[in-house]
């Protein structure tokens, strides 16, 4: 397989808890609750990692950074995304574009979207125009609507360097 472009899909879910910071897209979002996880639980960055790995059939985030490994306890997910970027670069690819949707009931993310895009673009050495981050609610339905957690869906196009 020697494709010029490869698409990838990532999905992540994390549960809200009381005693953690809310980290999304590499930044801290002011909110009364945070997300539970072995790492800093940045579901947006995790879904991007999975989408990039998936595009090149390199497995998933759990394969590369097992949640049983103490090395990754409370780790900054920006480090994980940076490591994933190195893996795809080693395969001869770079990000073409990324499109993510964060599904959560609260807080409203609009004021933080551009800061997240900038953060992701910095980690992936690309332009902010290549990074799309969107947010929507679940209309008060299901586990997202009940504010038990959030989910994030990401798609990427990886292009040959
Ligand atoms: Mg995760």
- For position 154, what pLDDT does the model report? 98
* pTM of the shown model: 0.96
* Interval between CA 117 and ligand 1 midpoint (Å): 19
CA 24 – ligand 1 centroid, Å = 11
10 Å Cβ neighbour count for 29? 18
The pLDDT of residue 71 is: 86
Per DSSP, 126 falls in state S
Query: 81: domain range?
Result: 5-160
Alpha carbon of 49 to ligand 1 centroid (Å): 10
89: its two tokens:
């670069």
CATH number reported for the structural domain that contains residue 140 in this entry? 3.30.1330.50
CA of 37 to the centre of ligand 1 (A): 7
Phi, psi of 152 (to 5 degrees): -135, 135
How many domains does the chain fold into?
Answer: 1
- According to the model, what pLDDT value does residue 67 have? 85
- CA of 21 from ligand 1 middle (Å) equals 15
Q: Would residue 26 be called left, alpha or beta, if left means φ above 0 and alpha means ψ between -120 and 50 degrees?
A: left
Integer CA distances (angstroms), 149 to 17, 39, 64, 71, 85, in order: 9, 16, 24, 25, 27
Regions of the chain short of the pLDDT cut 50: none
């Amino acid at each position: 397989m020697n494709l010029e472009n490869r698409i990838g899909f990532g999905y992540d879910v994390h549960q809200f808890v009381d005693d953690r910071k809310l980290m999304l897209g590499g930044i801290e979002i002011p909110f009364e609750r945070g997300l539970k996880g072995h790492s800093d639980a940045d579901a947006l960055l995790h879904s991007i990692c999975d989408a990039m790995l998936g595009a090149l059939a390199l497995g998933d985030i759990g394969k590369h950074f097992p949640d049983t490994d103490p090395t990754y306890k409370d780790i900054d997910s920006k480090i994980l995304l940076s490591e994933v970027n190195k893996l795809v670069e080693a395969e001869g690819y770079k990000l073409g574009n990324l499109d993510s949707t964060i599904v959560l009931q609260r807080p409203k993310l609009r004021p933080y979207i551009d800061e997240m895009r900038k953060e992701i673009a910095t980690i992936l050495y690309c332009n902010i125009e290549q990074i799309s981050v969107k947010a929507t609610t679940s209309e008060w339905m299901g586990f997202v609507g009940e504010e038990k957690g959030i989910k994030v869906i990401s798609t990427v196009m990886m292009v040959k360097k």
